[in-house]
Amino acid sequence: QKDNLMTTCYINGKYKPLGKSTVSVTDRGYQFSDGVYEVIAVFKNEFVDFKLHLNRLFVSLKKMDMKINLNKNQIESIIKKIKKINQLEMGIVYIQITRGDQNPREHKYSNNLKPNIVIYSIIKNFEYLNKLAQKGVKTSLYPDVRWQRSDIKSISLLGNVLAANHAKKNKSHEAVLFDNKNMITEGNSSSIWIIKKNKCITHPLNFRILKGCTRHKLISILKKNKFKFEEKKFSITSLLNADEAFMTSATNFIMPIVKVDKYTISNGKPGLNTLKFRNLFINAI
């Protein structure tokens, strides 16, 4: 596969090497992080939850009051074309849409801006994650210092970046965020779940978390398999005392959590239900 800078990138109607794909300094994404993004995994040459991600992209655009001159079908064709040109068999397609260039710089946005649309792909090794899932991962707690509209998949990711870096410093796979009442919201880039007494629990959908596509897919798997689940807030203490814990995301699928900082979850091994759900998820894709 090609070196990443040579990867083909769609940028505002053109297909260019990623290394030669640029936007202006006056782009509102660069100036204000005024934009949205989406990540779609490709696993064994197939897109994972394609429609869920495509729909969420348009939901994010709507919530940001952004209009683009391409419809869902057109975006879908570009994503598929990028996968094909780059011969992507395992990895992600990344989509970023910013509100466009505005000069002079001003917080208030003009209504006649032309959004900058960028779509490219990145090779990722999901086999490595598969191996990791057999052992489970360590996570680290971090306060949820993000803005209050985490339901929008916006490129304003500073809180997530700080949390992820805290996790990295602590040799953790992911940061688990908690609010000012010590309740878990989500991961720095995942949804967080616990299992207690054979019931799956995850934070309810509201402004404080992203509506994860993997979360959505897992809920339908749970329903199909008649496994109890509830969308309700749970505390740090509940996480530490859970029978099983795991995270879900487009790239991790369903990843067992076996440690939270110095605390071990249950017996320190991936939960049996968690591994079962992971297999069901992989079979479903």
Interacting residues with ligand PLP between 16 and 55 (CB under 6 A): 39
Query: What six digits make up the tokens of 217?
Result: 């897919």
* Phi, psi torsion values for 281, nearest 5 degrees: -65, -50
Q: Report the candidate in 142, 100, 132 with the shortest Cα–Cα distance to residue 117.
A: 100
Q: Interface with ligand PLP includes 244 (CB under 6 A)?
A: no
Of 87-95, 106-114, 236-244, 246-254, which segment contacts ligand PLP by CB under 6 A?
246-254
Residue type, 7: T
Q: Which is nearer to ligand PLP, 64 or 101 (CB)?
A: 64
225 in Cβ contact with 280 (< 8 Å): yes
Q: Interface with ligand PLP includes 96 (CB under 6 A)?
A: no
Residue type, 85: I
Of 3-11, 84-92, 182-190, 264-272, which segment contacts ligand PLP by CB under 6 A?
182-190
Q: Interface with ligand PLP includes 174 (CB under 6 A)?
A: no
Q: From the CB of 147, what's the least distance to ligand PLP, in Å?
A: 12
Considering only 98, 154, 249, 274, the residue that binds ligand PLP (CB under 6 A) is 249
Q: Is 203 left (phi over 0), alpha (psi -120 to 50) or beta?
A: beta
Q: From the CB of 121, what's the least distance to ligand PLP, in Å?
A: 16
Of 4-12, 106-114, 228-236, 247-255, which segment contacts ligand PLP by CB under 6 A?
247-255
Interacting residues with ligand PLP between 184 and 223 (CB under 6 A): 186, 189-191, 210, 212-215
Q: From the CB of 35, what's the least distance to ligand PLP, in Å?
A: 15
Q: From the CB of 153, what's the least distance to ligand PLP, in Å?
A: 7
Question: CB-based burial of residue 217 (10 Å sphere; 0-12 exposed, 13-18 middle, 19+ buried)?
Answer: buried
Tell me the number of residues near ligand PLP by CB under 6 A.
Answer: 14
Catalytic residue among 83, 138, 153, 217: 153
Considering only 137, 250, 265, 275, the residue that binds ligand PLP (CB under 6 A) is 250
Q: Interface with ligand PLP includes 255 (CB under 6 A)?
A: no
List C-alpha distances in Å: 54 to 37, 59, 87, 155.
Answer: 10, 9, 20, 16
Give the catalytic positions in this structure: 153
Instruction: Give contact residues for ligand PLP (rule: CB under 6 A).
Output: 39, 160, 186, 189-191, 210, 212-215, 248-250
